[in-house]
Structure 1
Amino acid sequence: MPAFRPGRHVTPLAHHVQRYVVTWIGVCAFGFTTTAQETWTLPSPNDIRSDAANLDAPLWSSPEVVPPGREMVLGNETVIGSQLNASAEADGVQESSVFQSPAPDMVIESDASEIIGPAFDEPSPVFDVPGNVVYPQSPTTSVIMQGRRPWLNLDTDFSDPLLDFQNRQTDKEQMILRHACHRDAFTPAVYVGGQARLSLLAATTNTTDKFPYLGRFPTDFSGDSATDARLLQANGHVTAHVTPMAHVYGEWLFSDVFTFPDHRQGSLQVRQAYAVFGDFRQSPWYLYLGKKNIGFGDLGTLSPFTQSVVWHYFSALAEGVGLGYFDDRWHVTVAAINGGRGIRVADSTSRGKLNNFAANVRFRHGDIELGRIQLGSGFLLGTIYDGFTAEHLDANQFGDDNNSAWNLFGQFEFMAVTLAGEWVSTTEAWPVTGSMVQAYRLEAAYWPHRGPGFSVWSFSYSDGDQGGPGTEFEFNRQLVLGYQKQLSHHMRVSAEYVRSTGFAPLIDITTVSDRDVAQDSLVLGATIVL
């Protein structure tokens, strides 16, 4: 492990930080409407939310509801606790998408008709890391006539962390099981959601035709400056709670990057597709099978839009089968992974067998008010850093022996401050460069305001090393100073200053690299979630 030296690893800020003022005005209004029958909209149901992403919420508690026979005034309507059996079978409905809340029925009495929908007591807001905040549900929610339960649903608080590119990269299967716990009488249901990430970049480089910012491909730009506006990524999901024990998740992704070597703009792919088997109301154990992000490390970041060097170096997605354990403090996973080249870093010595392996453990304790700490470690048996050629196109390239990777990560939160760090390293030298591949990140965030309409300032420094001291391909380094603001329940915007130093792309790393390259970028981002 190389020693941490401020002169080498910390870029001086005094000569590089650019002042900028960014004003974003956004309006995002979402409503749900049913078409087959008349519906009513509950006045300001801001107390409806999903606890799927809230690690502080009890695993199988449901929000309190109006007890049977008791009345509660909601706007101009009178809510009476329902005497209906919440566990009775219910038919699906043909109306358009509506929000399926995780609570027993209630009845709203009015002069027009009787309609059935959810009622909650208002909960206290709960918070998590940037990009993974749990807040009250959207301001309009439709309810269905005649007491039928909808089979097709929208839940932004559920979709947001599932589709998040920045945080919670490696453990999202437990969110699906947690979400199922907060549904009352079980009937099959489908939840859908989508996300769009829009980006505007302006940058300068000190070396013509070399742009080391890792959020774009090196060949995207030429000259000494760059401007770029694009829908960087758009992804959507379909999650089906089929039975109390069986759940299916599918995610598709559009990424506005070219495909080597023919430079086709954009790609549409099924990014993840897997089934999860388990019921946290019965047992903390679960099983998953399919294509998903591998449980290895944390790989998140406190930056609002730009991913850290650690993610770029060691993110792994592949097919396989895994076993997990999850409770209020521990989350442990082990996985057997299909052999051969996965997406990004996963690789093994041959195809046709379950010959790769991953394990991850995460411990968490406390809460934000008194201090919450998370510590974890991970191991990945086979990585792409076993090959003799620096590339990621040839699925038939295998090394003679596995070059494994190990990971340590931690995060501490107290009131308005979040601190995070992560270290990842291979166990052997990469044959291409003759050095081990290592990456780390050091990050901090300050929250002037948490909860709905949150705002957060962030600092992130990350470094990736894969060459000997003094070599042109020794490092890629990145400094990010960011700000993020939530404009509505469905939209947040961000601004980042990014300093990228060292130009060491994976392709042709030993021939085109230049350690003296530096790029200064202003990155504006917007994330829209439904």
Structure 2
Amino acid sequence: MSTSFVFAEQEQSVLQRIETLEQENRVLKANQRELMEEQSASEATASSSSENKNSDNKNRTAATQTGLQANAEFGYELLDPTTDIRFKQLSILQARQDGTLPANSVNLQGAVTAIANYQESNEADRFGYLMRHPTGANQVGTSVSEAVVHSAQLGFSASLGGWVSANMELLFDPEQSFGSGINTDIERNQVHVRKAFVLLGNLAESPLYLSLGKMAIPFGLTDTVNPFTASTVWHAFGGIANGATLGYVKNGLNLSFMAIEGGSQFRSANTPVNGTNVPSKLNNHAVDVNYTVPLGDGNSLLAGASYQRGSAYCQEFPIQHFEPCNDNNPAYDVYARYQGGKLTVKAEWAETTEKWPGTFNPNPPLSQFGASDVTSFDVGLKYRTGLLGMPADVSAEFSRFDTGPDDSPWEKQDQYVLGFAAFATPSVKLFAEYIRTDGFAPLNFLSGGLGGNPLVPLSSATAFSDVYLVGINAAF
């Protein structure tokens, strides 16, 4: 074999290998480009996803971030037990509308009311002062005195998004607790949820609102011009219950309808449920209509009327509060309030439509007194003045709780109050009152049955008492 042939063959082999390597190199470069393009696309997708996720997180944070505030004037308004008692939902909606309660914010509010008083009664153990329960567990003898915390409140109001609000109030009130024993017993010193509801509404968008939970019943006005002592209308008919309230408010017109849980509720509502007082059916309701007439120069006149299917006055003899009833006893209420300049005048009348069965004692000689309906009314005025540079109010109010026929031991209880209040700040009130009560008409064993004796009522038509009281209501 010639040398030239061998070299030619070797050259041809080398060229084939070079071509093969170049082809493999081209394939590798193409694969590399594809991998780089895929990696770039993957990174772009991941970056876009990350940006979207960060954007979503920012939006979610912006939507749910909540500011905490403590507006003392707003807190005082919500916790004030003397004014707009059953209009707290409207206070929250209006606060949202005017910016007092901004969107996605929580207002923390609280109040402490401390009092000192001296009381005298012409009959032992019978004190008609209603700001603590009138029982022998609270006062004995013919003269009593105290320096106590009457109540402490803590709560919040939250604005959540554009339409949802939440409100809750905790209450410590050993003076008016229904727990057993004296007012230092542990059962009387519990903190409980006084009110708690979710509120759906936005007055800037709609005049309708819905409230669901535990709240004041839309029945009557039940306010007082007194700085501290509640009117007997509130004591008799001021209700608190579980239920749902649908409301409408526009151009001075305010309509409210509440579906109330049946059975025996927390205050002033009772309808039988299958012969029991078990709250297991929405078979009670209340409706209220009121209208505010603007009179110019900031003056106004509020007038309204209410109806409730089941009041608290339905038990048979002997009467024990919260016990089951055989039938419901409806009630109605009419009220008015004038506010003009420095003067406030109010009047209210509430009455059951049927007689309270338990006010008839079938045992002679008390059987001479027939069953009676229940009526409560008040009239009061308040005038704004000043003291040492502080805004101050002078007030006077008369109210009556009428539960029996003339000359019966449980005929009525009258309450007269002269009051004075000065505001050290818009949410700190210093007050003094003189209270006179004529008659003694507690609910339990009103017409007899005290101590198991059907002829002994707890009530007394001849009892009267005088109360001298000072106190401070401090809120934030």
- Runs in 1 of length 4+ with deviation above 4 angstroms? 88-92, 184-187
Aligned to 1:304: 227
Shift of 1:416: 2.0
Once the two structures are superposed, what CA deviation does each residue of 1:118-165 show, in whole Å capped at 9, x if it has no partner? xxxxxxxxxxxxxxxxxxxxxxxxxxxxxx986111111211111011
Query: For the Cα contact (< 8 Å) 2:154–2:169, is it kept in 1?
Result: yes
What is the RMSD computed on CA atoms of the aligned residues?
A: 2.3
Residue 440 in 1 paired to residue 377 in 2? yes
Aligned to 2:212: 289
Identical positions, percent: 28
Aligned to 2:356: 430
Matched length = 385
1:131-146 alignment runs, 5 A limit: none
Aligned to 1:163: 79
Aligned to 1:364: 292
Query: For the Cα contact (< 8 Å) 1:90–1:187, is it kept in 2?
Result: no
Query: For the Cα contact (< 8 Å) 1:248–1:274, is it kept in 2?
Result: yes
- Describe the shift of the 1:370–1:320 C-alpha distance in structure 2 as closer, same or farther (beyond 3 A): closer
Shift of 1:370: 5.8
Query: For the Cα contact (< 8 Å) 1:274–1:291, is it kept in 2?
Result: yes
2:152 aligns with one of 234, 243, 250: 234
Q: Matched residues in 1 for 2:473 and 2:298: separation?
A: 31
For 1:290, give the aligned amino acid.
G
- Describe the shift of the 1:516–1:186 C-alpha distance in structure 2 as closer, same or farther (beyond 3 A): closer
Shift of 1:322: 1.4
Residue 384 in 1 paired to residue 319 in 2? no
Once the two structures are superposed, what CA deviation does each residue of 1:13-71 show, in whole Å capped at 9, x if it has no partner? xxxxxxxxxxxxxxxxxxxxxxxxxxxxxxxxxxxxxxxxxxxxxxxxxxxxxxxxxxx
Between Structure 1 and Structure 2, which shows a larger proportion of helix residues?
2
Once the two structures are superposed, what CA deviation does each residue of 1:491-518 show, in whole Å capped at 9, x if it has no partner? 1111111001101111111112111111
1:50-65 alignment runs, 5 A limit: none
Q: Matched residues in 2 for 1:323 and 1:512: separation?
A: 40
Query: For the Cα contact (< 8 Å) 1:478–1:500, is it kept in 2?
Result: yes
Shift of 1:352: 2.1
Aligned to 2:333: 407
- Describe the shift of the 1:89–1:368 C-alpha distance in structure 2 as closer, same or farther (beyond 3 A): farther
Query: For the Cα contact (< 8 Å) 1:230–1:256, is it kept in 2?
Result: no
Query: For the Cα contact (< 8 Å) 1:441–1:461, is it kept in 2?
Result: yes
Shift of 1:267: 2.6
Q: Which secondary structure does the structure 2 equivalent of 1:428 belong to?
A: coil
Query: For the Cα contact (< 8 Å) 1:247–1:276, is it kept in 2?
Result: yes
1:201-220 alignment runs, 5 A limit: 201-218=117-134, 219=136, 220=138
- Describe the shift of the 1:455–1:478 C-alpha distance in structure 2 as closer, same or farther (beyond 3 A): same
Shift of 1:259: 3.8
Aligned to 1:72: none
- Describe the shift of the 1:150–1:278 C-alpha distance in structure 2 as closer, same or farther (beyond 3 A): closer
Shift of 1:210: 1.5
Q: Normalising by structure 2, what TM-score?
A: 0.77
Aligned to 1:70: none
Q: Matched residues in 2 for 1:255 and 1:184: separation?
A: 29
Aligned to 2:4: none
Aligned to 1:417: 343
Query: For the Cα contact (< 8 Å) 1:368–1:415, is it kept in 2?
Result: no
Residue 374 in 1 paired to residue 297 in 2? no
Structure 1 stretches lacking a partner, 5+ long? 1-87, 93-147
Q: Matched residues in 2 for 1:195 and 1:365: separation?
A: 32
Q: Which secondary structure does the structure 2 equivalent of 1:386 belong to?
A: coil
1:190 aligns with one of 106, 119, 122: 106
Q: Which secondary structure does the structure 2 equivalent of 1:436 belong to?
A: coil
Query: For the Cα contact (< 8 Å) 2:101–2:159, is it kept in 1?
Result: no
Shift of 1:367: 5.2
Q: Matched residues in 2 for 1:245 and 1:482: separation?
A: 40
Q: Matched residues in 2 for 1:150 and 1:353: separation?
A: 37
Shift of 1:467: 0.4
Aligned to 1:314: 237
1:510-521 alignment runs, 5 A limit: 510=447, 511-521=457-467
Query: Is the radius of gyration larger for structure 1 or structure 2?
Result: 2
Query: For the Cα contact (< 8 Å) 2:73–2:427, is it kept in 1?
Result: no
Once the two structures are superposed, what CA deviation does each residue of 1:291-323 show, in whole Å capped at 9, x if it has no partner? 101111100000001001111111111111111
Query: For the Cα contact (< 8 Å) 1:344–1:392, is it kept in 2?
Result: no
Once the two structures are superposed, what CA deviation does each residue of 1:465-486 show, in whole Å capped at 9, x if it has no partner? 0100000000011000011100
Once the two structures are superposed, what CA deviation does each residue of 1:161-192 show, in whole Å capped at 9, x if it has no partner? 11011111112111111111123997522111
Structure 2 stretches lacking a partner, 5+ long? 1-57, 274-278, 360-370, 448-456
Aligned to 1:507: 444
Query: For the Cα contact (< 8 Å) 2:95–2:101, is it kept in 1?
Result: no
